[in-house]
Amino acid sequence: MAEFDSSSENEFNCENAEDVSYFNLDSIPDCLLERARDLRALQLNNNEFTTVPDSVGLFTKLVSLDISYNSVKLISDSITQLKSLRTLIAKNNLLTSESIPKDFGLLKSLEVVNFSCNSLESLPPQFTELHKLRCLYLGGNLLTSITSAVKHLTRLEVLYLGGNQLSEIPAEVGYLHRLTSLVLCDNQLQSLPPTLINLRHLKSLNLHNNQLSTLPPEIVALNLIELSLRNNPLVVRFVEDLVYIPPTLLELAGRCMKINRVKYSTLDLPVNLVQYLQSAQRCVNPKCKGVYFTSRIEHVKFVDFCGKYRLPLMQYLCSPKCTSSLPTVTSSASDSETDEEDGARERMRRVLLG
């Protein structure tokens, strides 16, 4: 262990704070333990700690503790003695869900917890007992699920869950009414709960690098400043649809023959071309007399069912220009409702294209 010099330039210029980062420490020096009851901020990051030692419990007035970039595998139960602790940063260690003391929830003053880049397999239930928590950073772990008890963190403003193995998010996230930032990027999400509509203060929603094929329509009602969706099937498909691949010369010739009703038979054309011409499909746009073979535009039309439900119906058009002349909804909906849907669709279009 390197010799500790309390006069180091790494020290904070504050009587009640100490910065002993980058000292190759594996235990807390005696000279710091002598001042334990006076210190309010302690930085132990970038050292060689393998545990948060029992002696940390002597720093009863600590408001901020940073134990990042060590090799910590275990947090001593004595940390629960830090009743005034508001910020705990323990990112880039070797912590698992079992490393968290069972009475960790007694740290009722905690407002910021950063356990990013560890080996947490699940959200420790003790975290959901920290009712004053404003910021929770759990990015870069091994999380596969989030407990529904997350709803108890009603003061949470920032929830960072990026870089995990999440395939779904519980509907209870919608109870976190104070959230302004929700980071879910780099996971395996295939859908989002519609309860996100309750996050009226949400400004930033990061969803890139997931498996999202659809979004809940409620999302367009959020007043977001930042919405990141890149590298999701939803965006890839949307962009591919916008970048219309023009028909081949073969298809153009086939379309001309069909539209102009040119007569043909197996005596005039090879069998494979006859079969190709017979595979033509009529464009569903009533104002278009065109046909298509393999080059087509996917179009979702919402149709009323029994006057109660709107069912999505997949249709195919022969070209992008046909999309502008088709109604998006066939129903008894009022003009204002249709205008609202069109406006929401246009907002989402701008978001997807950046």
DSSP string computed for 145-213: ---GGGGG-TT--EEE--SS--S---GGGGG-TT-SEEE--SS------GGGGG-TT--EEE--SS--S
Q: Does the structure show a pLDDT above 90 at 9? A: no
* pLDDT at site 191: 93
Beta-carbon neighbour count of residue 349 at 10 Å? 11
Buried b (16+ CB within 10 A) or exposed e, 222-235: beeeebbbeebebb
The model's confidence at residue 323, banded by pLDDT at 50, 70 and 90, is: low
135 or 320: which carries more pLDDT confidence?
Answer: 135
Angle between helices 249-259 and 271-278 in degrees, nearest 10: 70
* pLDDT at site 39: 97
* pLDDT at site 174: 96
Q: Does the structure show a pLDDT above 80 at 10? A: no
d(CA 114, CA 88): 6
* pLDDT at site 353: 42
The secondary element (H helix, E strand) that includes residue 315 is: strand 309-317
Q: Average pLDDT in the 297-315 region? A: 62
* pLDDT at site 3: 43
The string of DSSP codes covering 46-107 is: SS--SEE-GGGGG-TT-SEEE--SS---EE-GGGGG-TT--EEE--SS---GGGS-TTGGG-
Q: Which two tokens stand for residue 44?
A: 């132990």
Distance of CA 107 to the CA centre of its chain: 28
Q: Which two tokens stand for residue 163?
A: 């870089």
Q: Average pLDDT in the 18-37 region? A: 96
Q: Which domains does the chain have, with CATH numbers?
A: 17-239 (3.80.10.10), 245-354 (no CATH)
Beta-carbon neighbour count of residue 43 at 10 Å? 21
**Amino acid sitting at position 84:** S
Q: Average pLDDT in the 27-45 region? A: 96
d(CA 211, CA 228): 13
Q: Does the structure show a pLDDT above 70 at 94? A: yes
Global model pTM greater than 0.85: no
d(CA 101, CA 110): 15
